Amino acid sequence: MLASQAKRISSFCISNGIILEQDREKYDYCYEIMLSTLLNFAAVLLIGLCTGFLAQTVCFMLVFAVLKSNAGGYHAESHLVCFAETVGTFLLYRLLAAVIPAGILPYVSIVLIAFAIITVFILAPVGTGNKPIGRRQSGQLKRDCCLIILFLGAAVFFLLFFSAAQWAFSISFAVAAVSVSLIIGKYQLAKHGPEA
């Protein structure tokens, strides 16, 4: 479904002289990824809206997207799996935010952000078999990831200082989810090699 919609967008752009026919395959892929990302974000935002946590949902998704786009890591093999994993990760976050006692939530946030900082400093960035990261790009991404995670760590402690534990948990869980993605991505690269 996403592939056919992406081809329709490419056809529209070609017929209106926006892109060249010879670039169709590249744009088909880009539009498919864009539609998949929009669908994932829309589903999560809809859940956040329906559960009354839209602002924290936006925070969670922005933090996740910014760090993931720089750090890389695991990528699902299909759009359906990506959708299920994105929604599943968000639902786990909301469940834990609801069941963890308020007095314990700050400590959980500290553990998660510490785990994320260590993981990002050691592993990031992590490419995939289909999208390896060159040495020059890796150095720049490493610096960016380290600056981002340190800024987010400072934000978590700032929020905790002002007793905004739910917001701190939103950030710390998002970066911990990216950290798990880094670990899985690194494992897959080690297991299957760069050609996987």
Q: Select from 168, 169, 119 the least CA-distant residue to 146.
A: 119
Q: What is the pTM of this model?
A: 0.88
Q: What are the two backbone dihedrals, phi and then psi, of residue 13, each rounded to the nearest 5 degrees?
A: -65, -35
pLDDT digit string (tens) for 161-183? 999 999 999 999 999 999 999 99
Q: Per residue of the chain (196 residues), give pLDDT as tens.
A: 778 888 888 888 888 888 888 888 888 888 888 898 899 999 999 999 999 999 999 999 999 999 999 999 998 888 889 999 999 999 999 999 999 999 999 999 999 999 999 999 999 999 876 677 888 889 999 999 999 999 999 999 999 999 999 999 999 999 999 999 999 999 988 887 654 4
Boundaries of every domain in the chain: 1-50, 53-192
Please give the structure tokens belonging to residue 86: 């994105």
Q: What is the model's pLDDT at position 194?
A: 54
DSSP state of 18: S
